[in-house]
Amino acid sequence: MAPTTFPVTAFAKSPALMVGGLVYVAALVAASITDVRSRRISNRLVVALTLCGIVFGLLTQVASVGMARALLGFAIGFALWIPFYAMGMLGAGDVKLFAAASCWLAPSQIFGAALLSALAGGVLSIAGLMLAHGIGLTTFRIAHAVKNPGLLATPLPVPAGRRTLPYGLAMAVGLAVVGWFPKLIRLQ
């Protein structure tokens, strides 16, 4: 028996898929807003996003394929980011958000979404460094890291009043881009 190939999510393919895509993006925007404001992502939102992703899979594919795809997507999304939570680099809400949103995507899309999320997180980190320490120190660290990458491993003290980065925002960017523009990044 040949292995099952899961269809790629492309929200722009049809009006029905667009409705699903709008729900998906609305949930990601809501998660991003709460993450930026409070550095928390609601468990209720994560559960709703997961359940809607399962329903989306069931409505857009054969039931057994839709369910398997959603559950496999959740597992892969969770497995990709849980090590970063374990190392203290991400919050649990970020990991749960990515796993929940991965229910909506084909397993082959999840790695691309993770890569885009990491790139968006890098941009967010540089912006955070600039806000916290100024353009001069940030530019100095990045320029010297080319010769000595260990320089970036040395953490800078967090200035009083500064908070952690809202990494859920970076994840939402990667997840939304892959769902709407699946041909943009293919890691197959």
What's the DSSP call for residue 4? Answer: P
Task: Report the pLDDT value the prediction gives residue 152, as an integer from 0 to 100.
Answer: 65
Beta carbons of 174 and 110 less than 8 angstroms apart: no
pTM of the full structure = 0.85
Q: What is the pLDDT of residues 3-51, one digit of tens each?
A: 457 778 888 888 889 999 999 999 999 999 999 999 999 999 999 999 9
Contact 49, 97 (CB under 8 A): yes
Per-residue b or e along 59-76, where b marks 16 or more CB atoms closer than 10 Å to that residue's CB: ebbeeebbebbbebbbeb
Please give the structure tokens belonging to residue 90: 């991400």
Residue-level pLDDT at 2: 38
**Three-state SS at 47:** helix
Question: Domains of the chain: which residue ranges?
Answer: 11-180
Flag whether pLDDT at 101 surpasses 50. yes
Note the pLDDT of residue 129. 79
Looking at the predicted structure, is the pLDDT value of residue 55 above 70?
yes
pLDDT at 138 over 80: no
The three-state secondary structure class of 25 is: helix
Q: What angle do CA 50, 113, 18 make, to 5 degrees?
A: 60
User: Would you state the structure tokens that stand for residue 22, as one six-digit string?
Assistant: 């709008």
Task: Give yes or no for residue 188 having a pLDDT over 60.
Answer: no
